[in-house]
A and B are shown apart, each in its own frame.
Chain A
Amino acid sequence: MSDAIERTSAPWDYAPAPESRELVKLQDRYGLFIGGAFVEPKSGRSYTTIDPSSEEPLAEVAEAGAQDVARAVEAAREAADGWQALPGAERAKYLFRIARQLQERAREFAVLESMNGGKPIKESRDIDLPLAAAHFFYYAGWADKLAYAFPGRSPRPLGVAGQIIPWNFPLLMASWKLAPALAAGNTAVLKPAETTPLTALLLAQVIQEAELPPGVVNILTGAGSTGAALVDAPVDKIAFTGSTEVGKAIRRATAGTGKRLTLELGGKAANIVFEDAPLDQAVEGVVNGIFFNQGHVCCAGSRLLVQEPVFEVLLDKLKQRLQTLRLGDPLDKNTDIGAINSRAQLEKIEALVATGQQEGAELYQPDCALPERGFWFRPSLFTGVTQSHRIAREEIFGPVLSILTFRTPEEAVTKANDTPYGLSAGIWTEKGSRILWMAQRMRAGVVWANTFNRFDPTSPFGGYQESGFGREGGLHGLAPYLALDGPPA
């Protein structure tokens, strides 16, 4: 039998299993999508978008300026009356078309999402795409049922919505914004993130194929200034997902304008593990909580609060589990950890991690090789962290977990709530009454019990306090796009 052991002592490396890039037909350059067509930017400016896993250029995209923003808002305004006047059942059928196309072209979209954003193909394929299609599907069904969503009221659309989305779930965020806005009868101007324009531009093609009336959706690629111009434009509503800092700036910029506003901002979620938790599944939940999408997740479980008696055991299991994480080419189907989205983000992560070490916390990283080109960061754990450490308070937005301990449920609640953020939280325990008791006390808009990072179009998502206001998903996700203060039905 010694022969058998020798032959298996070499690691089993799975061999490269790359998803093909052939499916994606990239243009050399893209214009802005305004009034149902791709047009040249009046700003005359464009920039190159890259693949963060290799720093290879992918395409040239337009940088919309103030005039382009004005043009897009005008197109949306022109289309608004006609879109609102359509019977809800007809609006619904347009949205069903978009949902269906996202399903039919799911693989193409998933590959493009991973190429442009850096996330592993298994995530874009298994999570981003199905959820994006599902959001359109879900809200399509509300378009002709608004009276039942708000009984006794006659809901009216607001008009034109300006929507600014981040780079961590580019297509999914686009669907979270567009689906409810359109179902409610609004038209939209969408501004994708600077580093991830490509799936939004492919979505524009889908919108053309669905023959959505021109101007109902307009898509402006560009940088921060484009977003700022959109915030200042004559729209009726602004929806923003991004950093708390920018969210506050948008709140200030819209003050006194009468524009409706929803913000989905940052977080520093506590993932709480009790002694009686199903530990092996809790490990999966903790790992998923912080390393899913390289930790580029507003609701990431970035603080692990573990009940002291199981600290050693859990830490040991976590370290072992981190060693099985596969970091590398986002397009490889076996990759668990992809690339950091940009050089800028990588530098932020590195700076905060250095701070953590200086503050005296102990860093653990598994020994995985980093590719030479591209932006990469190993999945990391910090132990010896206290609430007063910067790495316990500030959002790192990277694959870095800070581990703290607690003794009692009361203490866990206090520590979990001890943050200006309030987006999400995780609770791991076998005791049902404790789950509900904790959930009642958590100042967080989303509480996951014995699971983490679960999303569904029917399930409202959003934060308390500085994690923003307003909800996306579910019945509650319709209200931000409607005027409900008119005379009752």
Chain B
Amino acid sequence: MSERVPVRRTAKLFIAGTFPRSESGRSYEVTSHDGRPLAHAAQASRKDLREAVVAARAAQSGWAAMTAYNRGQILYRVAELMEGRRGQFEAELADAGAADPVRGVSAAIDRWVWYAGWADKIAQVAGSSNPVAGPYFNFTIPEPTGVVGIVAPPDQSLLGLVSRLAPAIVSGNTAVVIASEPAPLPAVSLGEVLATSDVPAGVVNILTGRTAELVPWLAGHMDVNAIDVTGVPEDLLTEAETLAAENVKRVHRGPKTDPFDAAAQGPAEITALMEFKTVWHPMGA
């Protein structure tokens, strides 16, 4: 009796809620940590990145306009879907060489839930009413900065990605993610989870491909408001920050702790990608 032929995976880009191949037609081979071929992931080009930014911008005002409660609910549901797919995630992490895939997936889901719970709280912790010396009501509110570029860390390819992405979008930013180059499959699966969730199309866009090729285009893009350089290799960091200067992008790097550590998560990861608006209004009969 012959063995069943499994249906193999195609790993494509995730842009504007759909899964296109790269417009360049390129792909690259993804192998396991021990050299087994796993799939051919799309190799994103600068034009794919351009389209991803367009999609992220188009989706941003709607995502930010939702109530915080709504965003929190939608992100919580993403965690529900991740939990349902944990088998796939665990297998992908094992292929990527993770020491404890089960622990890694659980940590990623729990971190996602943690950040989802911040949606309707960040304003209370990061905002304030300010007792100015005059008959004015004065308050400071945090707002999402807009479109955030994220360079995900090459290792810890699920937990590391979640640790960058969740705090970026919970406040109402949209994201263009450059996935881990050696281990992109958990990011591709996360894209599939997002596509079947209530997260609107364009809020998260995921590009697989060569980090060194894509980072300069992301860092220099004039319609990206902030860039998370956590996954940028040391030898590219200076170039990235230099390019980011052109539209005064906010540049943020995540904490350098073990991602499993509690110190690896915090509301500062959310507010790093937010703007603070202060409003004055006179008080008089």
Residue positions of A touching B, CB distance < 8 A: 89, 92-93, 96, 134, 137-138, 140-142, 144-145, 148-149, 408-410, 432-434, 436-438, 440, 457-458, 474-475
Contact = CB atoms under 8 A, between A and B. Distances in A.
Contacts of A89: 110, 113-114
Interface residues of B, number: 25
A410 B121 contact: no
B117 A148 contact: no
A436 B137 contact: yes
A437 B120 contact: no
B124 A474 contact: yes
A329 B78 CA distance: 40
Contacts of A433: 281-285
Nearest to A141: B117
Contact of B72 (A93, A137, A144, A408): A137
Identify which of A144, A148, A408 gathers the most chain B CB atoms within 10 Å of its CB. Answer: A148
Given A89-B110, A89-B114, A96-B76, A145 B121 contact: yes
Nearest to A409: B285
A440 B119 CA distance: 29
B217 to A, nearest CB: 36
A141 B284 contact: no
B44 interface: no
28 contacts: A89-B110, A89-B114, A92-B117, A93-B113, A96-B76, A137-B73, A141-B72, A141-B119, A141-B120, A141-B121, A144-B117, A145-B117, A148-B125, A148-B267, A433-B282, A433-B285, A434-B284, A434-B285, A437-B283, A437-B284, A438-B285, A440-B283, A457-B69, A457-B120, A458-B120, A458-B121, A474-B124, A475-B125
A448 to B, nearest CB: 16
Interface string B118-154: 1111001100000000010100000000000000000
A370 B113 CA distance: 50
B281 A432 contact: yes
A153 to B, nearest CB: 14
A410 B72 contact: no
Interface of B: 68-69, 72-73, 76, 110, 113-114, 116-121, 124-125, 135, 137, 266-267, 281-285
A142 B125 CA distance: 12
A140 B285 contact: no
B269 to A, nearest CB: 12
Given A89-B110, A148-B125, A475-B121, 19 more contacts: A89-B113, A92-B113, A137-B69, A138-B121, A141-B121, A142-B117, A144-B117, A145-B118, A148-B267, A433-B283, A433-B285, A434-B284, A436-B282, A436-B283, A437-B285, A440-B283, A457-B120, A458-B69, A475-B124
Contacts of A142: 117, 121
Contacts of B125: 148-149, 475
B212 to A, nearest CB: 37
A92 B121 CA distance: 15
Given A141-B121, A457-B120, A134 B69 contact: yes
A148 B124 CA distance: 10
Nearest 8 A/B pairs, CB to CB: A141-B117, A436-B283, A409-B285, A433-B284, A437-B283, A433-B282, A436-B137, A475-B124
A262 B55 CA distance: 50
Nearest to A89: B110
A134 B68 CA distance: 11
Identify which of B76, B118, B284, B285 gathers the most chain A CB atoms within 10 Å of its CB. Answer: B285
Contacts of A434: 284-285
Q: Specify the main secondary structure of chain A where it touches its partner.
A: helix
A113 to B, nearest CB: 21
A302 B267 CA distance: 42
Nearest to B282: A433
A138 B267 CA distance: 16
Identify which of B282, B283, B284 gathers the most chain A CB atoms within 10 Å of its CB. Answer: B283
A185 to B, nearest CB: 16
A433 B117 CA distance: 34
A485 to B, nearest CB: 21
Nearest to B77: A100
Nearest to B267: A148
Contacts of B282: 433, 436
A412 B2 CA distance: 88
A308 B252 CA distance: 58
Contacts of A93: 113
Nearest to B135: A437
A141 B75 CA distance: 12
A326 to B, nearest CB: 30
A457 B125 CA distance: 15
Given A137-B72, A410-B285, A433-B282, A96 B124 contact: no
A409 B137 CA distance: 18
Contacts of A440: 283
A409 B285 CA distance: 7
A460 to B, nearest CB: 10
Nearest to B68: A458
Nearest to A90: B110
A433 B285 CA distance: 7
Contacts of B73: 137
Contacts of B281: 432-433, 436
Contacts of B110: 89
A410 B284 CA distance: 11
Nearest to B80: A100
A355 to B, nearest CB: 35
A161 to B, nearest CB: 22
Contacts of A474: 124
Nearest to A93: B113
Contacts of B267: 145, 148
Contacts of A437: 135, 283-285
Contacts of A145: 114, 117-118, 121, 267
Identify which of A141, A409, A437, A440 gathers the most chain B CB atoms within 10 Å of its CB. Answer: A141
A138 B73 CA distance: 10
Contacts of A436: 137, 281-283
A71 B153 CA distance: 54
Nearest to A144: B114
A138 B284 contact: no
A458 B124 contact: yes
Nearest to B122: A148
Nearest to A474: B124
Contacts of B114: 89, 144-145
Nearest to A458: B120
Contacts of B124: 458, 474-475
A141 B283 contact: no
Nearest to A149: B125
A410 B110 CA distance: 53
Identify which of B68, B73, B117, B137 gathers the most chain A CB atoms within 10 Å of its CB. Answer: B117
